[in-house]
Structure 1
Amino acid sequence: MNTSSKSVFYDGQSSVPKTIDIFLDSNKGQISFQIESKSIENEDEASFPIVSETYTWLINDIEFEHRSTALFLQHGENPIQTIKITDAASIATINQFRKASGQLSWYQTLLQKPLQFHVFLALFLLAIIGLSYVYMLPWVAEKSVALIPESYDDALGETFVDENSLFGDSQIQKTKLLNDFASGLQLNNKKKLNFKVIDSEIMNAYALPDGTIVVYTGILKEMKSYDELVGLLGHEVAHVNNRHSMKMLCRNLSGYLFISTVLGDVNGVMAILGDNVNTLQSLSFSREFEREADEEGFAIVSENQVNPKGMVTLFQRLEKEHSIDMPEFLSTHPVTKDRIQSIKKMIASKNHVVQDNSSLKILFEKLKK
């Protein structure tokens, strides 16, 4: 193949470049070119004959380097000779031959791309890294909770109780009543549960990773039947059974945990979780986790032959308390109306056996006093 463009040759001895035509022999894997010069045999002669010297370089002996839009070919050691090619068609032909013969790596191919391609690639990689950090890393952190011993859950729950005193005064008598109430239920718990009643007007309840379930008097006062309390406890127990607190904590701290894991700092993982234990009370579960807790809580209600409509009335009260509606895609919790509709669908899906439980009713009435 004869490249139609002119190339520039530097012989490594003179600073004066020479224009040459290069030829690529794909069968022999070599390039060749000629250098013309005057032959000085007799200094007295007025003119000197022009002679041509042919150079042949094996492709395997050439070092290739791309600089901007030019391709540089270097050959030899002492001196190092260089050919500069600027013709795009000639560069493409040489690169195509090198690629076909296995002499052009993917990295070298990438380097040959234009500036616009590299800018696009850089932006694409940054987008991938950003999306992975925002979405993929938290997901991996959540799934990796299965590798964390449950003893971590217990330690975090105990630390939270010690440091925060559960944000209110503990009601000893009502705490005992609530534990008696829970003991009369089949909760399908996977670990020991500890129920606490805290004196506060807040309409809330939450579960700690160690199995501690905190219920504020504010939400107890608003309840009208023990069915609602069973629904609430079933929901919170489902959070404990599925380790939702630990999963959300790991999701929120995934960046820090990733660095500690890469560095092999096992103690650092526990230290990071411990430093952020204060967030457990205000932890916002994902919509997926809330739906899962609703479904499992509903199953607990049904298994205990309690009226499942109690969950509906409970959420209706919470909806009134939190009356500011937000589109679901903007909220960390499912929209309460949607949760109510989901429970109503579960109620309508099959017949439920409901049996009045006088023991639970008596305990509930005592809790309301």
Structure 2
Amino acid sequence: MKKNTIAFFYDGNTSVPQQIDLVLVESKGVFCFQSNDGVNHNWVIKKVTFSKRPSGIHLEYGVELIQHIKIEDANFIQAIQDFRKQEGQISVYQKLIDLGTALHLVIAVLIMGIIGLCYWYVIPWVGEKSVALIPTEYDNQLGNSAWISNEYFVTVDSSKTKILNDFAQKLDLKNTKELKFTVVKSDEVNAFALPDGNIVVFTGILKEMKNYDELVGLLGHEASHVNNRHSMKMLCRSVSGYLFVSLILGDANGVMAVIGDNVNSLQSLSFSREFEHQADSDGFKILAANKVNPEGMSNLFKRLQKQHSVSIPEFLSSHPITENRIDYIEKMIKNQKFQIAANPQLEKLFAELKQ
């Protein structure tokens, strides 16, 4: 079947258009026309480049000398499109191009949305899960580096550090690695755990405590962060973009270099709600396993929340204490069975820490 229309031909040598009678020969799959110099042209449709523009459809043909045809006839343009679809000559890319500006904008917004979701949720999740690929020896190296970079700016209370370590030795903290405890002289109400097992407790938070069961609850909570590698997981989440690329490329040294550059943020990481929930649950189990009153944890949280409702201390900013967390602990106290036994040794050591 033949179809024809009036079109404009540019021979590639001049910018002057030539009006031509363009014929679509579907049986042969070619465009036929004669230029002003009397030359007959046969363009194989498969070799033609099509571009849709506001002025119509534009055809380009040739390798060294690019020739051009502009078609404005809507019916002829539709005939070309129907033929190309029938022959399967329209690529996915071309179909997307033909959708129009409005749909292009919608697609762009959707793609940007997907990229944003991946950046904020998928890649951080991958970063967190990738901790399983990092040997635990790196936890010790990073924790030690973090402490060395900070110990010049703090004053360690050696006497209370010894007492706190003696206190912890009386407990079963369910630890999977050796734990060590350091007391820092500071009015800040703060405590944090480094991935190497160093649990740092500030004298400011010790002053807030009224009973040794509160200290057991705090140590159990921080021990859970170490046992579950929460610091490493959150650190990997925070550098997940770089980490993800390094893992894809199989660059283990690059992974550790990225984490090492961010080691100073270990003590100020804000744990996710999931990690805090797990640490609270593990802390409760540690209290129960040591026959220490689990109310110690909820009492400490209530006191800290009440006394620092305006000026939020460091411990609360990195371990946000919410009503939900307190309610969760109190529900465990009500719903789970446990035994409480007085522990004169813990009570004596706690009294020494309070001095």
TM-score of the superposition, structure 1-length normalised?
A: 0.82
8 Å Cα contact 2:302/2:326 also seen in 1: yes
2:130 matches 1:144: yes
SS at 1:18's partner residue? strand
Which segments of 5 or more consecutive residues in structure 2 lack a partner in the other structure?
Answer: none
Aligned partner (choices 36, 59, 66) of residue 51 of structure 2: 66
Structure 1 residue 164 displacement after superposition: 1.1
Equivalent residue for 1:117? 103
Aligned partner (choices 218, 222, 237) of residue 232 of structure 1: 218
Structure 1 residue 242 displacement after superposition: 1.2
Structure 1 residue 170 displacement after superposition: 1.7
2:214 matches 1:249: no
CA deviation vs aligned residue, 1:130-168 (integer Å, no higher than 9, x gap): 343233322221121111111111111111221211753
SS at 2:268's partner residue? coil
Q: State the alpha-carbon separation in 1 of the partners of residues 196 and 188 from structure 2.
A: 22
Identity percentage over the alignment?
A: 50
Shift of the 332–108 alpha-carbon distance from structure 1 to 2, 3 Å rule, reads farther
8 Å Cα contact 1:209/1:240 also seen in 2: yes
Structure 1 residue 16 displacement after superposition: 5.2
Shift of the 78–203 alpha-carbon distance from structure 1 to 2, 3 Å rule, reads closer
Q: Which protein shows a greater Rg?
A: 1
Q: How does 1:216-227 map to 2 (within 5 A)?
A: 216-227=202-213
2:177 matches 1:178: no
Q: State the alpha-carbon separation in 2 of the partners of residues 199 and 81 from structure 1.
A: 82
Structure 1 residue 214 displacement after superposition: 0.7
Structure 1 residue 286 displacement after superposition: 1.6
Equivalent residue for 1:293? 279
Shift of the 355–86 alpha-carbon distance from structure 1 to 2, 3 Å rule, reads farther
Shift of the 111–322 alpha-carbon distance from structure 1 to 2, 3 Å rule, reads same
8 Å Cα contact 2:31/2:45 also seen in 1: no
Equivalent residue for 1:309? 295
2:83 matches 1:97: yes
Shift of the 22–203 alpha-carbon distance from structure 1 to 2, 3 Å rule, reads same
Equivalent residue for 2:181? 195
Q: State the alpha-carbon separation in 1 of the partners of residues 153 and 35 from structure 2.
A: 93
Equivalent residue for 1:30? 29
Equivalent residue for 1:84? 70
Q: State the alpha-carbon separation in 1 of the partners of residues 104 and 341 from structure 2.
A: 70
Q: State the alpha-carbon separation in 2 of the partners of residues 353 and 366 from structure 1.
A: 26
Equivalent residue for 1:18? 19
8 Å Cα contact 2:25/2:32 also seen in 1: no
Equivalent residue for 2:347? 361
Q: State the alpha-carbon separation in 2 of the partners of residues 256 and 274 from structure 1.
A: 12
8 Å Cα contact 1:325/1:335 also seen in 2: no
Structure 1 residue 277 displacement after superposition: 2.2
Alignment length (residue pairs): 349
Shift of the 31–346 alpha-carbon distance from structure 1 to 2, 3 Å rule, reads same
8 Å Cα contact 1:9/1:20 also seen in 2: no
8 Å Cα contact 1:7/1:22 also seen in 2: no
Q: State the alpha-carbon separation in 2 of the partners of residues 264 and 303 from structure 1.
A: 43
8 Å Cα contact 1:10/1:18 also seen in 2: no
Structure 1 residue 4 displacement after superposition: 7.6
Structure 1 residue 274 displacement after superposition: 2.6
8 Å Cα contact 2:194/2:231 also seen in 1: yes
Structure 1 residue 315 displacement after superposition: 0.3
Q: State the alpha-carbon separation in 2 of the partners of residues 37 and 210 from structure 1.
A: 84
Equivalent residue for 2:323? 337
Of structures 1 and 2, the one scoring higher in RCO (CA 8 A, sep 6+) is 2
Aligned partner (choices 140, 152, 161) of residue 147 of structure 2: 161
Q: State the alpha-carbon separation in 1 of the partners of residues 33 and 266 from structure 2.
A: 79
Q: State the alpha-carbon separation in 1 of the partners of residues 10 and 147 from structure 2.
A: 79
Shift of the 64–275 alpha-carbon distance from structure 1 to 2, 3 Å rule, reads closer
Q: State the alpha-carbon separation in 1 of the partners of residues 238 and 330 from structure 2.
A: 32
CA deviation vs aligned residue, 1:198-223 (integer Å, no higher than 9, x gap): 12222111100101001112211221
One-letter code aligned to 1:18: Q
Equivalent residue for 1:204? 190
Structure 1 residue 121 displacement after superposition: 3.1
Equivalent residue for 2:7? 7
RMSD (Å) for aligned C-alpha atoms: 3.3
Q: State the alpha-carbon separation in 2 of the partners of residues 219 and 325 from structure 1.
A: 14
Q: State the alpha-carbon separation in 2 of the partners of residues 195 and 221 from structure 1.
A: 17
8 Å Cα contact 1:178/1:195 also seen in 2: yes
Structure 1 residue 361 displacement after superposition: 2.0
8 Å Cα contact 2:18/2:36 also seen in 1: no
CA deviation vs aligned residue, 1:180-199 (integer Å, no higher than 9, x gap): 22122221111111111112
